[in-house]
Structure formats: structure tokens, C-alpha cells
Amino acid sequence: MSKMIFVNLPVSHLTAAVSFYQALGFVQNPQFSDDTAACMVWSDSIFVMLLTHAKWQTFTQRPVPANSSSEVMLALNCEDKAAVDHLCAAASSAGGTADVNPIQDLGFMYGRSVLDLDGHIWEFFWMDPAATQG
């Protein structure tokens, strides 16, 4: 069995969050979605579960973090720099905030970060495959 990751995120407005992630290229899996949660698919191994605050609280008693704080930054690799720029533009057009952190252009790696509608930080990055070979 291949390894997969399911990122669970609390969201204020499920429908708006689904639209935001669809604008970035995520596809909703209706089999694991209802009026309290939406399964958004990035790849065969990466899934984001968008959970209403009420649904979130069925998994943990810890409070939903304030929109102005950050507990984690989630990073997804892209096929090239243009894809990074495209995702940041799509996030901005869908109501997110691009470049909440400085753009990183290290030559062999390029990254930009965005906030989704609920203040979750996503970083989209490209890394030259030659840089990862020893």
C-alpha cells in the first residue's frame, strides 16, 4: 500500500473553501464529502479534508486556531516556476492572499506562499531535480 497524507483543515465556510481549492486545481471527491466536510484531492497520495468548525470539534477538543495565527505551513511541489506563479495568481483570484512570506528564489529552488480563506498557509515551490541528486 502506498503512503498517503490527509491534511485536515477547519474552515469557516465550507462552500467557499471548496471553491477556493477547486480554483487551485484540487478536485472534490463526493464519496467523502457532505455538508460538514469536503475531501479535496491534489494527487493520488495527497488529500485535504475541509471540515466545518463543528465537524473539526468531533476530532479534537483543541480550539480552532485564530485566523491571524499559524500552526503549520503546508508545502506542495510544482513542475516548474510558472506553475508556482500560476497557483499564486489563482489563489489571489479566488480570494486568498499571495506572497504572505517573501518570495524565495534560490536559483535551484523557487517558492511562494499564500493564505487560503481561513488563514492556512500553503507554499508552492519548484526545485531543480538536478539539485536533489548527489
Q: Output the pTM of the full model.
A: 0.90
**Residue 67 belongs to some domain of the structure:** no
CA dihedral 55, 10, 21, 36 (to 10 degrees): 10
pLDDT at position 13: 97
Residues 83 and 46 in one domain: no
Question: Exposure pattern of 45-58 as b/e (b: 16+ CB <10 Å)?
Answer: eebbbbbbeebbee
122 in Cβ contact with 116 (< 8 Å)? yes
Closest of 24, 68, 69, 71 to residue 48, by C-alpha? 24
In tens digits, what is the pLDDT along the chain, a chain of 134 residues? 789 999 999 999 999 999 999 999 999 999 999 999 999 999 999 999 999 999 999 999 888 887 777 778 999 999 999 999 999 999 999 999 999 999 999 999 999 999 999 999 999 999 998 887 76
Q: Exposed, middle or buried by CB within 10 Å (0-12, 13-18, 19+), for 1?
A: exposed
Closest of 127, 3, 119 to residue 76, by C-alpha? 127
**Residue 64 belongs to some domain of the structure:** no
Residues 52 and 77 in one domain: no
Residues 5 and 48 in one domain: yes
Residues 80 and 134 in one domain: yes
**Residue 45 belongs to some domain of the structure:** yes
- Kindly report the CATH number assigned to the domain that includes residue 79: 3.10.180.10
pLDDT at position 74: 95
Range of the domain at 33: 1-59
Residues 131 and 88 in one domain: yes
Residues 53 and 90 in one domain: no
Residues 79 and 114 in one domain: yes
DSSP 34: -
**Residue 32 belongs to some domain of the structure:** yes
The predicted-structure confidence for 27-49, as pLDDT tens digits, reads as follows: 999 999 999 999 999 999 999 99
Share of the chain residues as helix, strand and coil, in percent rounded to the nearest 5 = 25, 35, 40
